Structure formats: C-alpha cells, structure tokens
Amino acid sequence: MLLALLGLDDQTLAIAAAAGRGAGHRVALACDLPPDGIARLAAVGISGFETAPWESLMIGGRFDAVVIASAIDDAEEELRTEQLRKLVQEGVPMLVAHPVLNSMLGCYEIDMIRRESQCIMLPYLPARWDPEVRRLFQALRDPAQSPIGAIEQVVFERSAKDRSRRAVLSHFARDVDLIRSIAGEVMRVGALGGSGSQAGYANLTVQMSGEGPAVIRWSIGPVGDFAGGRLKVIGTKDRFELSPPGDEIANPPAIAELTDEAAEDFEDAWDAPTAALEQLSLAIEHRTAIPDFSVAIRDIELAEAIPRSLVRGRTIEVQHEQPTEEGTFKGLMTSLGCGLLLMGLLLVVAMAVLDFVARANNWRTLSAILRSWPWVLCAVFGVFLAFQVLLRLTRRRDGDSG
C-alpha cells in the first residue's frame, strides 16, 4: 500500500515506521512536514519519498491512502480543517491521528461531509484493535463471571512533559476512548484544576460518570516514577492495572494478577501502528472503517466539555447525538424563527412610535405608508414558514445516502 503523509506527529511517525518495516507498504509522498520532519523520518528508516504541496493529495493514482497528523496549534487547526474538508469531499481514504482536530464543530462538519461522500476515514484508536484488550474487556462485561467482580472504579493516571491546554485535552481524548471501552458511555464530565488558565490544565483532574455504576477519574501530572498512562480498574472482588496499548511513551503493557490465563504480558507480536495499517487496508477493501470517525468525535466532544466545566465550576452533561443535515437545518430554522419573533416585536413597537409621530406632525404620506407594516410582517413570516417545506422536499431516505 502506497501512503502519503500530511504533517507529522508521534502517532503518524510510528505509523510511517511500521510501513517501512512491513512488506507491501511504502511512504511515497509527504506534505506539510515540520522543519525536522525529514530527519525524524530518516531516523526510523523512511526515505526516498517525494515532497509536494498538500493540494497534490487530491490527485489520484499516486498513493492508496493518506496518513494525517494532528494539528499542533490554532493556526494549523484552521488549515487542517480545510485540508480535511477538501480530502473528504474527494473521497480520499485516510488514517487520521487522534484527535486530528480539537474543535468539535470542525469535526462535526467533516463527519457530515464524510457521510455524504462515503469517504474512508479511520481514526487511530489502537485499544479497539488489541486482541488482548478486547478479550479482557469482554471478560469484564459480565459481573457474575468477571474475576474482579462488578466494576466500581476506573482510575486513569497520565504523566506528561507537555501539560499545556492543547496537549492535555489531546491526551484526555485518547485516554477516554479506552475508558469508554471499559466503563461504558460517559454522560457527565466534571473538571477540577488550579487557578489560572495553564495551571488549571497542568494538574487537571476529571471526574466522570455515565450509563454504568462505575465512578471514573482521570488525572494528569508531571513525569515521576513512570512515564505515559496507567489504568486501574477496581472491582468488588479484585483489581487490575495496565498501560494503554499504542501509547508510545508508556511502559510495556502488562496485566497484574487478574487470572492465571490473563496474567500474562500482552503479545509482543502485536504492534499498534502495524494493526492500524492492517485496519486501513481492510477498510479500503470493504469500503467501511471500524471504528469510523464518529467514534473519535465522541472523545473530542467529551474533551471539549472540560474547559466549560472549569469555567462554570460544575459538572457538564454531554449528550450523545449524531449530527445530521436534518438536525442542522432544524437548529438553523429554530434560531432564525426566534430571531424573527424578536424582530417582529421590535418592529411593532417601532412602527407604533413612528405612526404616533407622523399623526402628531400631520405627515399623511408617511402615516399611510406605515399602515402597511402588518402586511410586510406577514410576508416575512410567510417566507419563513415556506422554508420549512424545504425540509420535506429535500429530505432523503436513509438508503439514498448510501
């Protein structure tokens, strides 16, 4: 499989290195690399690729899929959103770092375009592909059969050198996907941090709860006795601990005292970036990605609730709703309708005042014109109501969108 790179970060560098090691994969094109990008790729044995502007990615036939790095700042986020929008419209298959964007609204827009174009967009979520992780979590789903009993607490401790706002929210978006796999869907997010915008994220603690009875806690701190992530699952009978698969800076994943069968190290043969390439090949072959981009959006949505919780000082309810064109249209019409009602009320008051002034000054022409304002208002509301019919006229059946 011929790959193109758009940007470079730790996740996409690991994927490129796996492509260099695996038979049948090769990095053929690289776009928008950082200043040290070529040197970092050479350090993992990747060379001989072509460099070109990112617009060349929309020219078919030169590669099979694009591996896209996360945006590193707000300026690049705007550019990355535009790049994703164009690539998804063209239906270019892609494997994206997670989170590729930190903006929930930007992700919603990209996902709606993806649903329309049926573009293959696979997020890098290695925990969902690890066979050992899947086997363990399957064993934990039934409290009666689980060796640790019913899950009561899920505690995730993350240590990192970069604890800026953007880095912390990105760490959380990756980690919460693993948490959701264990504890079920998260519905409520409450964040606690220090005073100040940066200090609030450098020592952030997030309390979560959802559809299950488990209490969930995620925290980040400086690098101490371990680097990376550490997940603890506490049950009514026992507990176990592991490091997230695919965490490049984490200790090697291992499980402590779960059962004789499960108390083994994760299989050395399994490699997260290699698994991602395998999943990408399957997605292109079957024209569907598992998981698809909507799964990654949920993680970003939960991460975006953290700043709101810090500002408001309370728990935020995060409902799980898929964005659709119909929902967007209804939301737009609702907002527009509220605006028209408010403008109509102001118009009534303004016209009444003007009519009083015109009559007092014997301005007959103006007074005659002002008498027609109810018809103008009715015409405006009539046009608004007519737009509601567009929803029924343009609505597609589920099968029409592919």
What is the identity of the amino acid at 87?
L
Residues 55 and 35: beta-carbon distance below 8 Å: no
Task: Please name the fold of domain 2-119.
Answer: Rossmann fold (3.40.50)
Span 331-341, pLDDT tens digits: 666 777 777 77
Highest mean pLDDT among 165-174, 269-278, 354-363: 165-174
Two tokens, residue 93: 């298959």
Q: What is the pLDDT of residue 321?
A: 61
Is residue 79 very low, low, confident or very high in pLDDT (cuts 50, 70, 90)?
A: very high
Is residue 367 very low, low, confident or very high in pLDDT (cuts 50, 70, 90)?
A: confident
State the Cα angle at 388 between 387 and 389, rounded to 5°. Answer: 90
Task: Please name the fold of domain 128-268+292-317.
Answer: Dihydrodipicolinate Reductase; domain 2 (3.30.360)
Q: What is the spatial distance between Cα 13 and Cα 43, in angstroms, rounded to a whole number?
A: 10
Find all residues with CB under 8 Å of 16, minimum gap 6, and list them.
3, 5, 8, 27, 41, 44, 46, 67
Q: Does the pLDDT of residue 249 top 60, yes or no?
A: no
Q: Does the pLDDT of residue 268 top 50, yes or no?
A: no
Find all residues with CB under 8 Å of 206, minimum gap 6, and list them.
172, 189, 190, 191, 192, 217, 218, 219, 306, 309
Residues 106 and 100: beta-carbon distance below 8 Å: no
Rounded average pLDDT over 254-265: 40
Starting from the edge strand earliest in sequence, which strands make up the sheet with 215-221, in order?
Answer: 239-242, 228-235, 151-159, 215-221, 205-210, 186-192, 316-317
* Closest to 268 (Cα-Cα) out of 124, 132, 135, 140: 132
Residues 219 and 193: beta-carbon distance below 8 Å: no
User: The dihedral of CA 297, 299, 301, 304: what is its sign?
Assistant: negative
Is residue 251 very low, low, confident or very high in pLDDT (cuts 50, 70, 90)?
A: very low
C-alpha to C-alpha distances, 128 to 9, 116, 133, 137, 329, nearest whole angstrom: 21, 25, 8, 10, 34
Q: What is the pLDDT of residue 307?
A: 92
* Closest to 254 (Cα-Cα) out of 246, 216, 245, 77: 245
Q: What is the pLDDT of residue 399?
A: 43
Is residue 247 very low, low, confident or very high in pLDDT (cuts 50, 70, 90)?
A: low
Q: Does the pLDDT of residue 250 top 50, yes or no?
A: no
Q: Taking the C-alpha atoms of 62, 63, 64 and 67 in order, what is their torsion angle to the nearest 10 degrees?
A: -150
Span 3-32, pLDDT tens digits: 999 999 999 999 999 999 977 899 999 999
Q: What is the spatial distance between Cα 296 and Cα 276, in angstroms, rounded to a whole number?
A: 15
Is residue 298 very low, low, confident or very high in pLDDT (cuts 50, 70, 90)?
A: very high
Of all residues in the chain, what percent carry a pLDDT higher than 90? 47
Rounded average pLDDT over 72-77: 91
Q: What is the pLDDT of residue 326?
A: 60
Mean pLDDT of the chain: 83
Span 108-129, pLDDT tens digits: 999 999 999 999 999 999 888 8
Residues 74 and 100: beta-carbon distance below 8 Å: no
Is residue 208 very low, low, confident or very high in pLDDT (cuts 50, 70, 90)?
A: very high
Q: Does the pLDDT of residue 106 top 80, yes or no?
A: yes
State the Cα angle at 359 between 356 and 362, rounded to 5°. Answer: 150
pTM of the model: 0.77
Residues 110 and 71: beta-carbon distance below 8 Å: no
Which of 8-12, 263-267, 364-368, 369-373 has the lowest average pLDDT? 263-267
Two tokens, residue 135: 């086997």
Q: What is the pLDDT of residue 195?
A: 59
Q: What is the pLDDT of residue 350?
A: 78
